[in-house]
Structure 1
Amino acid sequence: MPNSVPDLRRAEGVLFDLDGVLTPTAEVHMRAWQAVFDGVFAQWGITPPYTDADYYAYVDGKKRYDGVASLLHSRNVEIPWGQVDDPPEKDTICGIGNRKNAAFATALRREGIGPFPGSLALIRQLRDEGIPQGVVSSSKNAEEVLETAGIRDFFTVVIDGRVAERDGLASKPAPDMFRAGAVALGVNPGESVAVEDALSGVESAVAAGFSTVVGVDRGAGAGALHEAGATCIVDDLARLLLDPSPGDTLETE
């Protein structure tokens, strides 16, 4: 299992995933997906039931519509793709994706969100060290989440689901989004660091040429992150602080 914590002061730049890495919005996404797929499965009699394992295997880290298609394909269900402006009640890939987005947006605006304390400490430290930082997120809600969490100003680059749609970037695990993030940040992936909690995101960063990929284990599992290509596994970004507090150690298996 990888156990060497990178010195981020040596990185040309650091590109972070958002949900589950910088903010606990992955939990909000998971609840929204659960509610939507529970309804769809009950309506269509799909078995076996949707579980958290399905989220990590088929949805996590991917663009919204790709996640819907991947999950339904796992149950041998094929439906029309539809259009991006399909109403949430329409039974298409886009309609179901928009149904989930409506549930997520409602929860985000009702509950708010803040960054993980360890993540906030790290991005502050990197800013103070002058290390360029960016966000690479499949979510079309990334800008709103960053603003709501009060951390948008830390990042000079945000490659999100809206940018991916505009520029025709393939969903993670394809390398497109992390590659675009490196270009926009003006850094060489081989000399930079990617930080991800999703298996598809780790695979995307590896494919984009990042030699250092930090896997943040928020539920995907250290072993699975390692298999996907993570070179370092942590359970909190506080583990990456340049001068960690006494007693801070990297947890590995």
Structure 2
Amino acid sequence: MPQPEDSLAPALRDVRAVVFDTDGVITDSARVHAAAWKVAFDDFLRAHPPEDPDQRRPFDVRDDYLRHVDGKSRLDGAAAFLAARGIESSPETVRAVAADKERLFTERLREQGVDAYPGTVRLVEVLRAAGVPRAAASASRHAGELLSRAGVLELFDALVDGGEAARLGLAGKPAPDLFLEAVRRLGVPADRAAVVEDALAGVEAGRRGGFALVVGVDRAAGADTGERLLRHGADIVVRDLGELCRGGGPQ
């Protein structure tokens, strides 16, 4: 008789726990984050244009988001993007841009809501049936709300969000602290667990943490996005997590 673990792709059959990033992996909230960052950064660039005209171009919701802010805390993301545009910013400036983004994100979240990716839900349910513990992790303080709104919070055994990271003094990605805390709460060592991430900083964090498997999720489907995820630390890259279930593909 087939066992639940038989429904998993071979790459996952030996792991004893899985930690999932939230934005862009479990929920489609990455698009809301990216849109909020674009308004916040574009407003700042118009008000404080860099000296170099080439650095005044608008924030790109795919490339700039992936390179500079995806997977990071608001403050780290704001600082990274401004530095990339050659802007010497004070802590006050970074906080102001991050606060503007937070306001915009919260407004959009209330108006639009978020959904969970069907392929991710399918994989999480297969893992649950196989008795594999699952954690959600996010640099965002909104992670619990996002998962609740998407109706999937109960599918996870643990959640480590931005609020918990701040309380515990966890370093942000690409440091592995967030994922290591999540897997610790599942009671499984990192070298027996997997991390699932869509951000370059996130897959790098999984690699630094010594996880047995780092899965990159290429939602952008860009010409080189998958290759970049591999270069930063992913062992494998999929377009949808339904590919890691028997039969493959999003459903």
Does TM-score exceed 0.5, indicating one fold? yes
Give the whole-Å Cα distance in 2 for the aligned partners of 1:218 and 1:129: 26
Verify the 8 A CA contact 1:9 1:131 in the aligned structure 2: no
Matches within 5 A, 1:74-153: 74-82=84-92, 92-153=93-154
- Coordinate RMSD, CA, aligned: 1.5
The correspondence for 2:81, drawn from 71, 81, 87, is 71
Partner of 2:46: 42
Q: Per-residue deviation at 1:175? A: 1.4
Partner of 1:10: 14
Matched residue type, 1:181: A
Verify the 8 A CA contact 1:134 1:156 in the aligned structure 2: yes
Matched residue type, 2:146: V
Q: Per-residue deviation at 1:6? A: 4.1
Partner of 2:213: 212
Matches within 5 A, 1:18-29: 18-29=22-33
Indicate whether 1:223 and 2:227 are aligned. yes
- Residue 204 of structure 1 aligns to a residue whose secondary structure is helix
Give the whole-Å Cα distance in 2 for the aligned partners of 1:179 and 1:187: 10
Amino-acid identity (%): 39
Q: Per-residue deviation at 1:7? A: 4.1
Q: Structure 1 residue runs of 4+, over 4 Å off?
A: none
Give the whole-Å Cα distance in 2 for the aligned partners of 1:128 and 1:138: 28
Q: Per-residue deviation at 1:133? A: 0.3
Q: Per-residue deviation at 1:156? A: 1.7
Indicate whether 1:197 and 2:206 are aligned. no
Give the whole-Å Cα distance in 1 for the aligned partners of 2:115 and 2:76: 27
Q: Per the alignment, do residues 10 and 235 of structure 1 end up closer, same or farther by CA in structure 2, a change over 3 Å counting?
A: same
Q: Per-residue deviation at 1:79? A: 2.4
- Residue 10 of structure 1 aligns to a residue whose secondary structure is coil
Indicate whether 1:187 and 2:195 are aligned. no
Matched residue type, 1:203: E
Q: How many residues align?
A: 233
Indicate whether 1:244 and 2:247 are aligned. yes
Verify the 8 A CA contact 1:136 1:177 in the aligned structure 2: yes
Partner of 1:56: 66
Give the whole-Å Cα distance in 2 for the aligned partners of 1:155 and 1:196: 16
- Deviation string 1:40-82 (CA, Å, 9 cap, x unpaired) is 0000013332223211111111111000011111122122214
Give the whole-Å Cα distance in 1 for the aligned partners of 2:185 and 2:120: 22
